[in-house]
Structure 1
Amino acid sequence: MTTSSPSQPQDRIPEPAHPKDRPHPVADAAPARARRALFPAVSTVLILHPEQPDRFLLVRQAASGATVLPGGKAEWGESPRQTARREAAEETGVEVEVLDLLVLNWLSEAAGKSLGGTAYPCFLSTFAGVLRPDQVGQLVVPDGELRDHLWLTYDQAAQPGRMEPLVLNHLRTALNARADGRGAHYLES
Protein backbone atom coordinates (compact mmCIF):
# COMPACT_ATOMS: atom_id res chain seq x y z
CA MET A 1 0.00 0.00 0.00
CA THR A 2 1.39 3.37 -0.98
CA THR A 3 0.78 6.51 0.93
CA SER A 4 1.12 9.93 -0.47
CA SER A 5 2.10 13.15 1.18
CA PRO A 6 0.05 16.34 0.89
CA SER A 7 2.76 17.87 -1.31
CA GLN A 8 2.21 15.36 -4.10
CA PRO A 9 0.07 16.62 -7.02
CA GLN A 10 -2.61 13.91 -6.74
CA ASP A 11 -3.49 15.16 -3.24
CA ARG A 12 -4.09 18.73 -4.28
CA ILE A 13 -7.48 20.23 -3.67
CA PRO A 14 -9.01 20.96 -7.07
CA GLU A 15 -9.48 24.58 -8.06
CA PRO A 16 -13.14 25.64 -8.11
CA ALA A 17 -14.65 26.84 -11.34
CA HIS A 18 -14.11 30.56 -11.93
CA PRO A 19 -17.13 32.57 -10.62
CA LYS A 20 -17.79 33.96 -14.11
CA ASP A 21 -18.16 30.36 -15.38
CA ARG A 22 -20.95 29.56 -12.90
CA PRO A 23 -24.50 30.80 -13.33
CA HIS A 24 -25.74 33.22 -10.71
CA PRO A 25 -29.50 33.00 -10.07
CA VAL A 26 -30.00 36.65 -9.07
CA ALA A 27 -27.56 38.41 -11.38
CA ASP A 28 -28.37 36.29 -14.44
CA ALA A 29 -32.07 37.14 -14.09
CA ALA A 30 -31.37 40.90 -14.16
CA PRO A 31 -31.20 42.89 -17.39
CA ALA A 32 -27.58 43.39 -18.52
CA ARG A 33 -27.44 47.16 -17.79
CA ALA A 34 -29.16 46.79 -14.42
CA ARG A 35 -26.68 44.22 -13.12
CA ARG A 36 -24.86 45.55 -10.10
CA ALA A 37 -22.37 43.83 -7.88
CA LEU A 38 -24.14 41.73 -5.27
CA PHE A 39 -21.73 43.07 -2.69
CA PRO A 40 -21.73 46.80 -3.34
CA ALA A 41 -18.48 48.22 -4.63
CA VAL A 42 -17.74 51.77 -5.69
CA SER A 43 -14.74 53.11 -7.60
CA THR A 44 -13.58 56.68 -8.03
CA VAL A 45 -10.72 58.43 -9.82
CA LEU A 46 -8.44 61.18 -8.53
CA ILE A 47 -7.64 63.21 -11.68
CA LEU A 48 -5.02 65.93 -11.28
CA HIS A 49 -5.19 68.87 -13.68
CA PRO A 50 -2.43 68.24 -16.27
CA GLU A 51 -1.20 71.85 -16.21
CA GLN A 52 -2.07 72.81 -12.60
CA PRO A 53 -1.13 69.76 -10.48
CA ASP A 54 -2.36 71.38 -7.26
CA ARG A 55 -5.92 71.12 -8.69
CA PHE A 56 -7.99 67.97 -9.10
CA LEU A 57 -11.37 67.20 -10.62
CA LEU A 58 -14.46 66.94 -8.45
CA VAL A 59 -18.03 66.56 -9.64
CA ARG A 60 -21.22 67.89 -8.11
CA GLN A 61 -24.05 65.38 -8.25
CA ALA A 62 -27.34 66.62 -9.68
CA ALA A 63 -29.72 64.89 -7.27
CA SER A 64 -27.96 65.48 -3.95
CA GLY A 65 -25.64 68.38 -4.74
CA ALA A 66 -22.82 66.40 -3.10
CA THR A 67 -19.28 67.21 -4.24
CA VAL A 68 -17.28 64.01 -4.81
CA LEU A 69 -14.58 62.43 -6.95
CA PRO A 70 -15.81 61.12 -10.33
CA GLY A 71 -16.98 57.53 -9.92
CA GLY A 72 -19.83 55.22 -9.12
CA LYS A 73 -21.12 51.71 -8.47
CA ALA A 74 -19.67 48.59 -10.05
CA GLU A 75 -21.68 46.65 -12.57
CA TRP A 76 -21.85 42.88 -12.49
CA GLY A 77 -18.48 41.34 -13.42
CA GLU A 78 -16.53 44.62 -13.41
CA SER A 79 -13.24 44.94 -11.60
CA PRO A 80 -12.69 48.08 -9.49
CA ARG A 81 -10.34 49.49 -12.17
CA GLN A 82 -12.88 48.80 -14.95
CA THR A 83 -15.56 50.53 -12.86
CA ALA A 84 -13.30 53.55 -12.33
CA ARG A 85 -12.53 53.77 -16.07
CA ARG A 86 -16.19 53.45 -17.12
CA GLU A 87 -17.50 55.88 -14.50
CA ALA A 88 -14.79 58.46 -15.25
CA ALA A 89 -15.70 58.32 -18.95
CA GLU A 90 -19.43 58.61 -18.18
CA GLU A 91 -18.92 61.59 -15.88
CA THR A 92 -16.37 63.48 -18.01
CA GLY A 93 -17.19 62.53 -21.60
CA VAL A 94 -13.53 61.62 -22.28
CA GLU A 95 -11.40 58.51 -21.83
CA VAL A 96 -9.39 58.84 -18.62
CA GLU A 97 -6.20 56.84 -18.21
CA VAL A 98 -6.65 54.96 -14.92
CA LEU A 99 -3.41 54.13 -13.12
CA ASP A 100 -2.54 52.81 -9.67
CA LEU A 101 -4.84 52.13 -6.75
CA LEU A 102 -4.49 54.93 -4.19
CA VAL A 103 -7.05 54.06 -1.50
CA LEU A 104 -9.16 51.10 -0.50
CA ASN A 105 -11.79 52.28 1.99
CA TRP A 106 -14.21 49.99 3.81
CA LEU A 107 -17.36 52.07 4.23
CA SER A 108 -19.37 50.70 7.13
CA GLU A 109 -23.14 50.77 7.36
CA ALA A 110 -22.85 53.68 9.82
CA ALA A 111 -20.68 55.60 7.32
CA GLY A 112 -23.24 54.99 4.60
CA LYS A 113 -26.06 56.27 6.76
CA SER A 114 -24.07 59.42 7.53
CA LEU A 115 -23.89 60.00 3.76
CA GLY A 116 -27.59 59.29 3.30
CA GLY A 117 -26.94 56.17 1.26
CA THR A 118 -28.44 52.73 1.15
CA ALA A 119 -25.72 50.77 -0.71
CA TYR A 120 -23.53 50.25 2.33
CA PRO A 121 -21.45 48.59 3.63
CA CYS A 122 -19.14 48.54 0.62
CA PHE A 123 -15.56 48.92 -0.57
CA LEU A 124 -14.61 52.24 -2.13
CA SER A 125 -11.55 52.04 -4.39
CA THR A 126 -9.86 55.20 -5.63
CA PHE A 127 -7.38 55.15 -8.48
CA ALA A 128 -5.03 57.76 -9.89
CA GLY A 129 -6.26 59.12 -13.22
CA VAL A 130 -4.61 61.12 -15.97
CA LEU A 131 -5.99 63.50 -18.58
CA ARG A 132 -4.00 64.97 -21.46
CA PRO A 133 -3.94 68.80 -21.55
CA ASP A 134 -6.12 68.82 -24.71
CA GLN A 135 -8.83 66.80 -22.91
CA VAL A 136 -9.46 69.44 -20.20
CA GLY A 137 -11.48 71.61 -22.59
CA GLN A 138 -13.40 68.57 -23.88
CA LEU A 139 -15.03 67.61 -20.57
CA VAL A 140 -18.80 67.18 -20.80
CA VAL A 141 -21.24 67.32 -17.87
CA PRO A 142 -23.78 64.49 -18.34
CA ASP A 143 -27.37 65.76 -18.23
CA GLY A 144 -29.36 64.66 -15.23
CA GLU A 145 -26.43 63.01 -13.43
CA LEU A 146 -24.13 65.92 -12.58
CA ARG A 147 -24.49 69.66 -12.06
CA ASP A 148 -20.91 70.53 -12.94
CA HIS A 149 -17.19 69.76 -12.87
CA LEU A 150 -14.95 71.60 -10.43
CA TRP A 151 -11.14 71.94 -10.61
CA LEU A 152 -10.24 72.67 -6.98
CA THR A 153 -7.26 72.77 -4.66
CA TYR A 154 -7.42 70.85 -1.40
CA ASP A 155 -7.98 74.07 0.55
CA GLN A 156 -10.95 74.93 -1.68
CA ALA A 157 -12.40 71.42 -1.31
CA ALA A 158 -11.95 71.59 2.47
CA GLN A 159 -14.05 74.75 2.86
CA PRO A 160 -16.83 74.15 5.39
CA GLY A 161 -19.96 72.74 3.78
CA ARG A 162 -18.28 71.86 0.45
CA MET A 163 -17.77 68.12 1.15
CA GLU A 164 -18.91 65.64 3.76
CA PRO A 165 -16.11 65.08 6.36
CA LEU A 166 -15.90 61.36 5.52
CA VAL A 167 -15.51 62.15 1.78
CA LEU A 168 -12.95 64.86 2.52
CA ASN A 169 -10.91 62.43 4.64
CA HIS A 170 -10.97 59.92 1.77
CA LEU A 171 -9.86 62.64 -0.68
CA ARG A 172 -7.02 63.73 1.63
CA THR A 173 -5.85 60.12 1.93
CA ALA A 174 -5.90 59.70 -1.88
CA LEU A 175 -3.89 62.92 -2.37
CA ASN A 176 -1.36 61.79 0.25
CA ALA A 177 -1.07 58.34 -1.33
CA ARG A 178 -0.42 59.92 -4.71
CA ALA A 179 2.18 62.29 -3.23
CA ASP A 180 4.08 59.77 -1.10
CA GLY A 181 4.22 57.03 -3.77
CA ARG A 182 4.34 54.25 -1.17
CA GLY A 183 1.38 52.33 -2.53
CA ALA A 184 -2.29 52.16 -1.68
CA HIS A 185 -3.61 53.30 1.68
CA TYR A 186 -6.33 51.44 3.56
CA LEU A 187 -9.15 53.14 5.49
CA GLU A 188 -12.14 51.98 7.48
CA SER A 189 -14.86 54.60 7.70
Structure 2
Amino acid sequence: MTTMDYATYIAGLPRVLAGAGAIFRDADQRILLVEPNYRDTWILPGGTIESDTGESPRQAARRETAEEIGLDVELGSLLAVDWVRGEGRPPLVSYLYDGGVLDAAQLAAIRLQEEELLSWRLVHPDEAEKLVSPQMALRIGAALQALVEGRGPAELEDGLPPKGSSSAMG
Protein backbone atom coordinates (compact mmCIF):
# COMPACT_ATOMS: atom_id res chain seq x y z
CA MET A 1 0.00 0.00 0.00
CA THR A 2 1.41 3.41 -0.93
CA THR A 3 1.58 6.33 1.48
CA MET A 4 -1.32 8.04 -0.28
CA ASP A 5 -3.40 4.86 -0.23
CA TYR A 6 -2.72 4.46 3.49
CA ALA A 7 -3.68 8.09 4.23
CA THR A 8 -6.89 7.66 2.24
CA TYR A 9 -7.61 4.42 4.07
CA ILE A 10 -7.09 6.06 7.49
CA ALA A 11 -9.23 9.08 6.51
CA GLY A 12 -12.06 6.74 5.56
CA LEU A 13 -12.16 4.84 8.85
CA PRO A 14 -15.11 5.43 11.17
CA ARG A 15 -14.58 7.99 13.94
CA VAL A 16 -14.99 7.20 17.61
CA LEU A 17 -14.96 9.72 20.43
CA ALA A 18 -13.11 8.87 23.64
CA GLY A 19 -13.50 10.11 27.18
CA ALA A 20 -12.19 9.24 30.61
CA GLY A 21 -13.14 9.98 34.18
CA ALA A 22 -12.84 8.80 37.75
CA ILE A 23 -14.99 7.74 40.67
CA PHE A 24 -13.85 9.45 43.85
CA ARG A 25 -15.29 8.35 47.19
CA ASP A 26 -15.19 9.52 50.78
CA ALA A 27 -14.79 7.41 53.94
CA ASP A 28 -18.55 6.76 53.95
CA GLN A 29 -18.37 5.38 50.38
CA ARG A 30 -20.30 8.30 48.95
CA ILE A 31 -19.25 9.22 45.42
CA LEU A 32 -18.29 12.65 44.16
CA LEU A 33 -20.53 14.11 41.46
CA VAL A 34 -20.19 17.45 39.70
CA GLU A 35 -22.96 19.61 38.27
CA PRO A 36 -22.09 20.87 34.79
CA ASN A 37 -23.54 24.10 33.40
CA TYR A 38 -24.09 22.50 29.97
CA ARG A 39 -26.49 19.63 30.79
CA ASP A 40 -29.41 18.78 33.05
CA THR A 41 -27.81 15.82 34.82
CA TRP A 42 -24.84 15.49 37.15
CA ILE A 43 -21.69 13.66 36.04
CA LEU A 44 -18.45 12.19 37.34
CA PRO A 45 -15.30 14.30 36.96
CA GLY A 46 -13.68 13.63 33.61
CA GLY A 47 -13.79 14.57 29.96
CA THR A 48 -12.45 14.14 26.46
CA ILE A 49 -9.19 12.36 25.65
CA GLU A 50 -6.90 14.64 23.64
CA SER A 51 -5.71 12.11 21.09
CA ASP A 52 -3.85 14.73 19.05
CA THR A 53 -1.37 15.07 21.95
CA GLY A 54 -0.93 11.31 22.33
CA GLU A 55 -2.73 11.36 25.67
CA SER A 56 -3.80 7.97 27.05
CA PRO A 57 -7.17 7.39 28.74
CA ARG A 58 -5.51 7.29 32.18
CA GLN A 59 -3.62 10.54 31.50
CA ALA A 60 -6.84 12.18 30.29
CA ALA A 61 -8.77 11.11 33.39
CA ARG A 62 -6.05 12.54 35.63
CA ARG A 63 -5.76 15.79 33.64
CA GLU A 64 -9.52 16.28 33.40
CA THR A 65 -10.14 15.64 37.08
CA ALA A 66 -7.31 18.01 38.02
CA GLU A 67 -8.82 20.68 35.76
CA GLU A 68 -12.39 20.14 36.94
CA ILE A 69 -12.01 19.67 40.70
CA GLY A 70 -8.48 20.95 41.35
CA LEU A 71 -7.13 17.64 42.67
CA ASP A 72 -4.21 15.98 40.91
CA VAL A 73 -4.16 12.44 42.29
CA GLU A 74 -2.72 9.18 41.09
CA LEU A 75 -5.59 7.07 39.76
CA GLY A 76 -6.16 3.45 40.67
CA SER A 77 -7.50 0.59 38.58
CA LEU A 78 -9.57 0.83 35.45
CA LEU A 79 -13.08 -0.06 36.64
CA ALA A 80 -15.19 0.08 33.47
CA VAL A 81 -15.03 0.60 29.72
CA ASP A 82 -18.32 1.56 28.09
CA TRP A 83 -19.12 1.68 24.37
CA VAL A 84 -21.76 4.41 24.22
CA ARG A 85 -23.91 4.80 21.14
CA GLY A 86 -25.30 8.27 20.54
CA GLU A 87 -27.71 9.97 18.24
CA GLY A 88 -26.18 12.65 16.06
CA ARG A 89 -22.61 11.85 17.06
CA PRO A 90 -20.07 9.05 16.64
CA PRO A 91 -19.90 6.34 19.30
CA LEU A 92 -18.00 7.15 22.51
CA VAL A 93 -15.61 4.89 24.37
CA SER A 94 -15.69 5.91 28.03
CA TYR A 95 -12.97 4.78 30.46
CA LEU A 96 -13.71 4.98 34.18
CA TYR A 97 -10.93 4.77 36.80
CA ASP A 98 -10.84 4.41 40.56
CA GLY A 99 -10.05 7.85 41.97
CA GLY A 100 -9.71 6.42 45.46
CA VAL A 101 -10.99 7.61 48.82
CA LEU A 102 -10.59 11.32 49.43
CA ASP A 103 -9.76 12.47 52.95
CA ALA A 104 -11.12 15.61 54.63
CA ALA A 105 -8.17 17.74 53.50
CA GLN A 106 -8.61 16.70 49.86
CA LEU A 107 -12.35 17.34 50.00
CA ALA A 108 -11.70 20.80 51.46
CA ALA A 109 -9.20 21.48 48.65
CA ILE A 110 -11.71 20.88 45.84
CA ARG A 111 -11.82 23.88 43.51
CA LEU A 112 -14.28 23.70 40.63
CA GLN A 113 -13.54 24.69 37.06
CA GLU A 114 -15.89 27.67 36.95
CA GLU A 115 -16.22 27.69 33.15
CA GLU A 116 -17.97 24.30 33.15
CA LEU A 117 -19.10 23.37 36.65
CA LEU A 118 -21.67 24.85 39.03
CA SER A 119 -21.22 22.68 42.12
CA TRP A 120 -20.15 19.33 43.54
CA ARG A 121 -21.52 16.97 46.13
CA LEU A 122 -20.99 13.60 47.74
CA VAL A 123 -23.87 11.17 47.35
CA HIS A 124 -24.62 7.55 48.14
CA PRO A 125 -24.79 5.41 44.99
CA ASP A 126 -28.58 5.04 45.23
CA GLU A 127 -28.95 8.84 45.33
CA ALA A 128 -26.57 9.18 42.38
CA GLU A 129 -28.99 7.16 40.26
CA LYS A 130 -31.50 10.02 40.59
CA LEU A 131 -29.01 12.73 39.60
CA VAL A 132 -27.07 11.25 36.68
CA SER A 133 -28.32 9.97 33.32
CA PRO A 134 -29.67 6.41 33.31
CA GLN A 135 -26.69 5.24 31.28
CA MET A 136 -24.19 6.88 33.65
CA ALA A 137 -26.02 5.28 36.59
CA LEU A 138 -25.50 1.87 34.99
CA ARG A 139 -21.80 2.63 34.37
CA ILE A 140 -21.29 3.79 37.96
CA GLY A 141 -23.04 0.68 39.30
CA ALA A 142 -20.92 -1.66 37.19
CA ALA A 143 -17.72 0.18 38.16
CA LEU A 144 -18.52 0.07 41.87
CA GLN A 145 -19.37 -3.62 41.60
CA ALA A 146 -15.99 -4.29 39.91
CA LEU A 147 -14.28 -2.33 42.68
CA VAL A 148 -16.06 -4.19 45.51
CA GLU A 149 -15.47 -7.59 43.91
CA GLY A 150 -11.82 -6.78 43.20
CA ARG A 151 -12.08 -8.04 39.64
CA GLY A 152 -11.07 -6.62 36.31
CA PRO A 153 -12.93 -3.79 34.65
CA ALA A 154 -16.53 -4.12 33.57
CA GLU A 155 -16.99 -4.30 29.82
CA LEU A 156 -20.14 -2.39 28.92
CA GLU A 157 -22.20 -1.39 25.92
CA ASP A 158 -24.49 1.54 26.65
CA GLY A 159 -24.00 0.87 30.36
CA LEU A 160 -24.82 -2.85 30.25
CA PRO A 161 -22.65 -5.98 29.91
CA PRO A 162 -22.72 -7.23 26.31
CA LYS A 163 -24.67 -10.42 25.65
CA GLY A 164 -22.54 -13.48 26.29
CA SER A 165 -20.06 -11.49 28.38
CA SER A 166 -18.97 -12.11 31.93
CA SER A 167 -18.87 -8.27 32.16
CA ALA A 168 -15.22 -8.33 33.18
CA MET A 169 -12.34 -7.78 30.80
CA GLY A 170 -9.10 -9.65 30.77
TM range (shorter): 0.7 to 0.9
Task: Please say if 1:57 is aligned against 2:27.
Answer: no
Aligned match for 1:178, one of 109, 127, 147: 147
Instruction: Quote the offset at 1:132 in angstroms.
Output: 4.0
> What TM-score results when the alignment is normalised by the length of structure 1?
0.70
**Structure 2 runs not aligned, ≥5 long:** 1-10, 159-170
| Runs of 4+ off more than 6 Å | none
**Matched length:** 143
**Structure 1 runs not aligned, ≥5 long:** 1-25, 27-37
SS in 2 for 1:68: coil
Match of 1:89 in 2: 66
Instruction: Quote the offset at 1:164 in angstroms.
Output: 1.4
**Greater Rg over alpha carbons, structure:** 1
Match of 2:163 in 1: none
* Residue type at the aligned position of 2:82: N
Map 1:116-127; keep pairs closer than 5 Å.
118=89, 120-127=90-97
Task: Please say if 1:138 is aligned against 2:109.
Answer: yes
Aligned match for 1:164, one of 103, 128, 133: 133
Deviations 1:49-103 (A, max 9, x none): 1x22x20111111111321111000012110000000011011112122111000
Contact kept? 1:65, 1:147, Cα under 8 Å: no
Q: Separation in 2 of the partners of 1:154 and 1:96?
A: 22
> What TM-score results when the alignment is normalised by the length of structure 2?
0.78
Aligned match for 2:77, one of 93, 96, 100: 100
Change (3 A) 1:141 1:65: farther
CA RMSD, 1 decimal = 1.8
